[in-house]
């Protein structure tokens, strides 16, 4: 049916050499082994014939697939597309490709997906789903599969990660509302099994301390998931517990949007009655109503760095495990405002 592509043997015949010579001539690492003149001849023939090496055949022989697995909760969550873009861009520039799986939140399924990835003989894995203790991570470590976690950190030692400086990010958020006069500040936290949820909650506590504000545990509520519905439910809980809150620092934009929903239901207005700050600065956050004040993280760069880190590992270039920690940036928009005088006095 389909016109087959030229093989290395055809190139060899056309150039009057053996296939192994073609292989050497076309591989930058072995090119020096063959005489310049022959290299030139082979290159010309290869071009004429439109020869493209068959990556999978090469992979079979070399025992590397040139594939890396990317496991994420759900590509439909707007945080991930730019991350994925960064990954794909840097991977494809060096001949690797990625196989992405939408794994959801169920740890059982994560393992099943890891199995599929292993069956495909991926050369490495980028994990955006890691929990603080994670079975997938354990298996990868046992199998000695190169691994980097993204936006997540893991308790097991020896795992590379690219993350944000969440302590700093949350501190910027808290300091921002404190400067606006807020003192009764709540935290709409993320799932505590996730390093981000955990770390941001820690950051919140530390930031309050830094601002000289007493920590009221009932002002911290944790959502089950980083989703808008989970954010709504948790925000409702928070408002129920602490009606006098004047500001909410959310662990994530989606949670902040859920808080918007909750406020609307309660007949409250943001920022008039309550200031809200998000985390991530996903696409379109400048266009929601009100435009969300949030902490911007560098999604694209995260993806690029994760791919770099993984490539280093796969090529044995990384003697010791290390993390890349990215710096966040506060983006002030219209969801935060100076605290109302009566609220401040109350």
Partner DNA sequence: CTGAAAGCGCTTACAG
* 30 near DNA, rule: CB under 7 A: yes
Nearest-approach distance from CB 60 to DNA, in angstroms? 4
Q: Which of 35, 92, 156, 192 is close enough to bind a second copy by CB under 8 A?
A: 92
b (16+ CB within 10 A) / e for 1-23: eeeeebbbebbbebbebeeebbb
- Pick one of 60, 94, 284, 332: the residue that binds DNA (CB under 7 A): 60
Q: Does 315 bind DNA (CB under 7 A)?
A: no
Separation of alpha carbons 189 and 89, rounded Å = 32
Q: Are 38 and 25 in contact (CB under 8 A)?
A: yes
Per-residue interface string for the shown chain with a second copy, residues 293-332, x marking contact by CB under 8 A: ----------------------------------------
**Can residue 14 be called a binding residue for DNA (CB under 7 A)?**
no
Q: Which entry of DNA, a second copy, none binds 301, CB below 5 to 8 A by partner kind?
A: none
| Count of residues in contact with DNA, rule CB under 7 A | 32
Stretch that binds DNA, among 24-32, 75-83, 200-208, 303-311 (CB under 7 A): 24-32
SS3 127: strand
Q: Residue 122, interface with DNA (CB under 7 A)?
A: no
Give Cβ neighbours of residue 74 (< 8 Å, ≥ 6 apart). 80, 102, 104
Does position 265 bind a second copy by CB under 8 A?
no
Which of residues 40, 44, 47, 57 is near DNA by CB under 7 A? 57
Residues in contact with a second copy, counted by CB under 8 A, come to a total of 51
Residue 331 parent element (H or E): strand 329-331
Q: Does 284 bind a second copy (CB under 8 A)?
A: yes
**What is the full DSSP assignment across 79-119?**
THHHHHHHHHHHHHTTT-EEEEEE--S-HHHHHHHHHHHHH
**Residue 177 tokens, joined:** 């509302």
- The verdict on 58 binding DNA (CB under 7 A) reads yes
Interface map 5-24 toward a second copy (x if CB under 8 A): x-------------------
Torsion angle of C-alpha atoms 34, 38, 44, 45, degrees rounded to 10 = -100
């Amino acid at each position: 049916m389909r016109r087959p592509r030229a093989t290395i043997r055809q190139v060899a015949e056309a150039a009057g050499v053996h296939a192994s010579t073609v292989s050497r001539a076309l591989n930058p690492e072995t090119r020096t082994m063959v005489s310049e003149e022959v290299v030139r001849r082979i290159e010309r023939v290869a071009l004429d014939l439109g020869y493209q090496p068959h990556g999978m055949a090469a992979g079979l022989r070399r025992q590397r697939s040139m594939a890396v697995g990317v496991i994420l909760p759900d590509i439909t969550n707007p945080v991930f597309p730019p991350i994925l873009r960064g990954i794909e861009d840097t991977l494809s520039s060096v001949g690797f490709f990625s196989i992405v799986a939408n794994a959801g939140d169920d740890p059982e399924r994560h393992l099943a997906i890891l199995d599929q990835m292993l069956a495909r003989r991926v050369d490495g894995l980028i994990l955006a789903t890691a929990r603080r203790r994670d079975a997938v991570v354990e298996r990868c470590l046992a199998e000695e599969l190169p691994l980097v976690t993204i936006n997540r950190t893991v308790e097991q030692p020896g795992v590379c990660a690219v993350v944000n400086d969440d302590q700093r990010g949350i501190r910027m958020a808290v300091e921002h509302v404190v400067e606006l006069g807020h003192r009764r500040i709540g935290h709409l936290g993320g799932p505590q099994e996730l390093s981000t949820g955990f770390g941001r909650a820690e950051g919140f506590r530390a930031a309050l301390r830094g601002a000289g504000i007493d920590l009221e545990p009932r002002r911290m509520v944790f959502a089950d998931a980083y989703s808008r519905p989970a954010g709504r439910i948790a925000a409702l809980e928070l408002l129920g517990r602490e009606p006098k809150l004047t500001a909410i620092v959310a662990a994530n934009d989606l949670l902040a949007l859920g808080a918007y929903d909750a406020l609307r239901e309660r007949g409250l207005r943001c920022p008039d009655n309550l200031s809200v700050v998000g985390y991530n600065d996903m696409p379109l956050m400048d266009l929601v109503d009100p435009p969300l004040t949030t902490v911007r993280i560098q999604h694209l760069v995260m993806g690029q760095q994760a791919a770099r880190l993984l490539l280093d590992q796969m090529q044995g270039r990384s003697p010791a495990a290390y993390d890349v920690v990215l710096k966040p940036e506060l983006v002030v928009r219209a969801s935060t405002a100076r605290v109302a005088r009566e609220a401040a006095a109350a």
